[in-house]
Structure 1
Amino acid sequence: MSDSELEALREQAARGDVDAVGELIERAAEREDFEELRRLADGGSKDAADQLVELASEKSDLNELGRLAANGNSDAAEVLAELTGEDSTDEGE
């Protein structure tokens, strides 16, 4: 996909085209493009956030998982706890 095609897809996504958002997520995941996935997740896409957690988990990216967990992503918090050997059920005791 050319840069101009990618930009057109981003414009469609910005206008609310859910198919364009899905395509962007898929392509970003294939490219391991954390920045694109972050942008989409920060824009409210749960699918992008899920993909970001999955990619960060595959890469053992504790910083990204920590950032997501700090922003309230419970899936990221669970994966982070698994990767670091922490028991998330002990919190608050």
Structure 2
Amino acid sequence: MADPDLADLRERAANGDRNAVDQLVELVAERADVGELRRLADAGNRDAADVLAELTDQEDEAEEASYAGRATGKGCPAARPAPA
């Protein structure tokens, strides 16, 4: 979606067009646009808040898995002992 279309969607959503709000939440969710989701959630959009929570949970899980791999040496071949 082009930026002018996105701007139009935002304007329609701001003017109370529920269809535009739903489309905007769906679009920014697909883009994983955390800033826009946060803005919509702060404005009271429950769907945006739910998507934002899901995205941040996924990011936290990925970060924890990455850290666990580094801590055990499983995520970094250089940290593993050389085969005998």
Could you state the TM-score of these two structures normalised by the residue count of structure 1?
Answer: 0.63
- Superposed, 1:54-93 pairs within 5 Å as 54-60=54-60
Deviation at 1:59, TM superposition (A): 1.1
Matched residues, percent identical? 54
Please give the secondary structure, in 1, of the residue aligned with 2:9.
helix
Unaligned runs of 5+ in 2: 62-84
Q: What count of residue pairs does the alignment treat as equivalent?
A: 61
Counterpart of 2:4 in structure 1 is: 4
Structure with max Cα Rg: 2
Counterpart of 1:21 in structure 2 is: 21
Could you state the TM-score of these two structures normalised by the residue count of structure 2?
Answer: 0.69
Give the CA RMSD over aligned residues. 1.1
Unaligned runs of 5+ in 1: 62-93
Counterpart of 1:35 in structure 2 is: 35
Q: Which runs of 4+ in 1 moved over 4 A?
A: none
